[in-house]
Amino acid sequence: MKKDIKKVLDKVSSGNASPEEETMARLWLHQLHQNDEAALSEAELNEVSDEMWASLEKNRKQSSPRTGKLWPYISAAASLVLVAGMALYFYKYQSSAPVKAPQQYSNDVPAGSNKAYLTLTNGKKILLSTAANGMLAEEGGIKITKTADGQLVYTIADEGKKTTGKYNRIETPIGGQYELQLPDGTRVWLNAASSLKYPASFYGLSQRSVELIGEAYFEVAKDKTKPFVVKSKGQEVEVLGTHFDVNAYPDEQSIKTTLIEGSVKLNGQLTLKPGEQSVLRDGKFNVKEVNAVDAADWKNGEFVFTNESLTSILKKAARWYGVDIVYTNDLIIVPTFSGSVSRSENISSVLNMLEETSNVRFSIAGKQIRVTTK
């Protein structure tokens, strides 16, 4: 938890914090005096808080607010005051505060890994995690190869044999992920429990169209003459060449599209800018500013949570660790969570992070995670 606070404070100090992180830092400041193990005195808390709020209020009156940002104009002075107050907490108390021992589980669940199934146009199914490195197949003048680092690569093998109408499908199971490179050079990272259907060759097609179920991160090769389109239930994302993430799991209530760089057009009506995320729910789009890098945390080997609900976090854990989540009682007054954990760690690392900052408790029985609240 302290590492997460320090990380956010560094971003606030440098002026790179998102609105959510600025809000989080403010809440931490006001909650410190409620911590019996390490509390700021009332005088220290009030001094830091008053200076910060005075600076915020002055700056807010001098600036016109932007829609969608809770703390859009936090000043450098307020940031420094905030960091100073929090630093006082760290250096005054971190050496003396008792460290809570992590929960020890009688059994644990290992992380997922690179595994997927490739279905060719002739119906042949290949388990990529056990297939030998090298060429797997050749279809329509396209050579399909598995590289030494476990990536699936499509390359043009014979210009004269290019054909259209042939599709491949790659599917990751629960507890699996995979990376592939399409014939046009586009790179795709597929998250757990996801599938992507795509042409074995884009030759002769007016657009590069793929169909997604689940979540994928795209780095689209630029081609101004042939748009790249990602289709998922209720949404089409059209780009010419850019980096973005689409989360379109069937068991989620919305589809989230997050833009890292470039621009994308959604359903022909909405254009995103870098750092924006669209949420499509019940046929309506809502756009907000986010830390776009966090949306691709899974692709970079991390779980990153920013004010995220317990149910959302555990749903992600269930897909990656291949477990069932069982809630043994009603979740009453369960907070949101912020933090990060490596996806290569066992599930106990995720559960310990959640237990440290809430009244939620877990037990592991085989592939079942039982959730209770005190």
237 pLDDT tier (thresholds 50, 70, 90): very high
Overall average pLDDT of the 9-16 stretch? 64
DSSP state letter for 125: E
Evaluate whether 73 touches 79 at the Cβ level (below 8 Å).
Answer: no
Fold of 113-295: Jelly Rolls (2.60.120)
64 pLDDT tier (thresholds 50, 70, 90): very low
Q: Which of 133-137, 173-177, 200-204, 294-298 has the largest mean confidence?
A: 173-177
Between CA 97 and CA 64 the distance in angstroms is 43
Predicted confidence at residue 20, as pLDDT, reads: 57
Let me know if the fold of 113-295 is the same as that of 302-373. no
Overall average pLDDT of the 95-116 stretch? 72
Tens-digit pLDDT profile for residues 303-353? 999 889 999 999 999 999 999 999 988 776 677 888 899 999 999 999 999
> What's the Rg (C-alpha) of the chain?
24
Beta strands in 43-151 (DSSP E): 113-114, 117-119, 125-127, 134-139, 142-146
Asked if residue 165 has pLDDT above 80, the reply is no
C-alpha closest to that of 292 among 304, 307, 309, 280:
304
3-state secondary structure of 158: coil
3-state secondary structure of 80: helix
Predicted confidence at residue 294, as pLDDT, reads: 85
Predicted confidence at residue 95, as pLDDT, reads: 39
Overall average pLDDT of the 154-158 stretch? 79
How many other CB atoms are there within 10 angstroms of residue 96's CB atom? 8
Evaluate whether 118 touches 151 at the Cβ level (below 8 Å).
Answer: no
Predicted confidence at residue 174, as pLDDT, reads: 97
C-alpha closest to that of 323 among 359, 296, 362:
362
Buried b (16+ CB within 10 A) or exposed e, 171-199: bbbebbbbbbbbbbebbbbbbbbbbbbbb
Asked if residue 91 has pLDDT above 50, the reply is no
State the pTM of this model: 0.73
Evaluate whether 343 touches 317 at the Cβ level (below 8 Å).
Answer: no
C-alpha closest to that of 289 among 69, 74, 72, 65:
69
Predicted confidence at residue 94, as pLDDT, reads: 42
211 pLDDT tier (thresholds 50, 70, 90): very high
Predicted confidence at residue 202, as pLDDT, reads: 87
C-alpha closest to that of 89 among 49, 52, 44, 46:
44
Asked if residue 53 has pLDDT above 50, the reply is no
Predicted confidence at residue 13, as pLDDT, reads: 61
Fold of 302-373: Phage tail protein beta-alpha-beta fold (3.55.50)
Average pLDDT over all residues of the chain: 79
22 pLDDT tier (thresholds 50, 70, 90): low
Predicted confidence at residue 302, as pLDDT, reads: 94
**What are the sequence ranges of the domains in the chain?**
2-93, 113-295, 302-373
Predicted confidence at residue 168, as pLDDT, reads: 94
